[in-house]
Copies of this chain bind each other. A is one copy, B any other.
Amino acid sequence: MLALEEAVECLLHHTRSITETERIPLLTSTDRILAAPLSAMADQPPFPRSPLDGYAVRGQDTEGAKKDFPKRLKVIGAVYAGEVFCGTVKEGEAVRITTGAPVPEGADTVIRQEDTDYGREEVEIYRASFPYENYCRQGEDYRKGDVLFEGGMRMDGIGIALAAGLGKEFVEVYRKPKVAVISTGDELVQPGIPLQPGKIYDTNRHLISGRLLDFGITPFASLHGRDDAEEMAETLLELSGKADLIVTTGGVSVGEKDIMHQVLPLLSAEKLFWRVEVKPGAPTLAAVLGSTLLICLSGNPFAAAANFELLVRPVLGKITGDKRLEVKRHRAVMANDFIKPKGTRRFLRGYAEDGKVWASAGNHASGTLSAMAGSNCLIEIAKEQAGAGKGDEVWVYLR
């Protein structure tokens, strides 16, 4: 029986991070992990740029300009955003300019059009400007070679905008993880099929698949298997070497229908551990099948849910490099009481907000589902404690 931390360490030791990359269109890169940094291939802005609509001038030519003592300059042309003015602004001259247009050679500032008479041949300037006062310098946002977004970062709207600014139509990202989900148990029926006596609906396959989807991971396979060791061995053999990770639920306890114990020898799989010192979900089993890690969770729905967060999530974090998947463990103060016997390290459903945490009302049995709605974390109650009272500090693991 391993401590939780030992089990996580063992799993991570046998987890291979994705190294294969692919080039994908920029607007499909949301939530993907960048394989290479986004670095500037040119200065931004790539040229000195006007920050407003007005007249590009030499600042010294506007010295002392006032509404009742305007400076008069000759308008030698116009430049709109997207164009270039092919001339030089000399003493006493101005060029009509719009926001975002390159400031012509010779000019060093822009006079806001509201501070002029909007002249076309000649313009009256009503307000002085220092050189470089209204002037975006080339490279003031970033310089050629600057790294804007580090490799390993998760792409989002800001990352997409920055990459677009660098002119990147495609970005290099790590490939998606391949995670297979298999629920086991003859009692499980798939949603949509009428329930016969003694049967229940297959929540675990949906829970594990649904949590993967929460992290943007579409399951590589999402299957249900019968309580048949040979059939299960065949399915696992088919997936091993293809999937990065296989997560199963059920069949790991000590009963005769707990088939996963029979499956591993059939596959000559390397067993890593069986049983972790946590409640719920102690009988968790882990193994390596060729290059594929296999984590077999207990079939009790909350046990599967809790150990997905505690054991599977860190593995997904290492496989993908996605920092969202790192365990979010914080101290919080209990807002109500929970009593448990000493001797087991217990994880409860809870709701955490603003440093406080409430143990979910109702049934904490590992078979119950309903207490998961409205819960956003696990609360840990240490082995040596007989519960936690209002005001006690506990560890919470945020979902």
* Proximity bits, A199-214, B CB within 8 Å = 1, else 0: 1111111111111111
Q: Which of A11-19, A66-74, A157-165 contacts B (4 or more CB under 8 A)?
A: A157-165
Task: Give min CB distance, A116 to chain B, whole Å.
Answer: 13
Binding site for B on A (CB under 8 A): 26-27, 30, 42, 44-47, 49, 51, 53, 79-84, 98-102, 113-114, 136, 140-142, 146, 148-149, 156-170, 185-193, 195, 197-214, 222, 227, 253-258, 299-301, 305, 363, 365, 367-370, 372-373, 375
B210 contacts A158, CB within 8 Å? yes
Copies per assembly? 2
Q: Which of A113, A146, A372 has the most CB of B within 10 A?
A: A372
The smallest beta-carbon distance between A265 and chain B, in angstroms, is 21
A165 to chain B, nearest CB (A): 4
The 4 closest A-B pairs by CB, nearest first: A169-B192, A157-B210, A82-B187, A160-B210
Given B53, B146, B203, B375, which contacts A164 in the complex, CB threshold below 8 Å? B203
* A367 vs B138: C-alpha distance when bound (angstroms): 12
Q: In chain B, what residue has the closest Cβ to A85?
A: B198
Query: Which residue of chain B is the closest to A300 with respect to CB atoms?
Result: B99
Instruction: Indicate the member of A136, A197, A206 with the most B CB atoms within 10 Å.
Output: A206
Q: Do the beta carbons of B373 and A187 come within 8 Å of each other?
A: no
Cβ-closest chain B residue relative to A160: B210
Task: With both chains docked as a complex, state the minimum distance between the C-beta of A11 and any C-beta of chain B, in angstroms.
Answer: 20
Q: Please state if B188 and A82 are interface contacts (CB–CB under 8 Å).
A: yes
Q: Do the beta carbons of B141 and A368 come within 8 Å of each other? A: yes
A385-B176 Cα distance, complex, nearest whole Å: 48
CB distance from A171 to the nearest CB of B (A): 10
Q: Are B195 and A30 in contact (CB under 8 A)?
A: no
A167/B140 in contact, CB under 8 A: no
With A142-B370, A254-B113: A26-B206 Cβ-Cβ less than 8 Å: yes
B201 touches A99 (CB 8 A): no
Residue of B nearest to A171 (CB): B191
Chain B residues near A46 (CB, 8 Å)?
195, 200
Is there an interface contact between B210 and A102, defined as CB atoms closer than 8 Å?
no
Structural contact, B198 and A161, CB atoms closer than 8 A: no
CB-based contact B80/A186 at 8 Å: yes
Is A191 touching B214 in the complex (CB atoms < 8 A)? no
Q: Which residues of B contact A214 (CB under 8 A)?
A: 30, 156-157
Decide: B299 and A100 in contact? CB cutoff 8 A.
yes
27 A-B pairs in the complex with CB atoms less than 8 angstroms apart: A27-B209, A45-B367, A47-B198, A82-B185, A82-B198, A83-B187, A100-B185, A102-B197, A102-B198, A140-B365, A157-B212, A158-B305, A159-B210, A160-B206, A160-B207, A161-B206, A161-B305, A161-B369, A161-B372, A162-B369, A163-B191, A164-B191, A164-B203, A165-B200, A165-B301, A167-B193, A169-B191
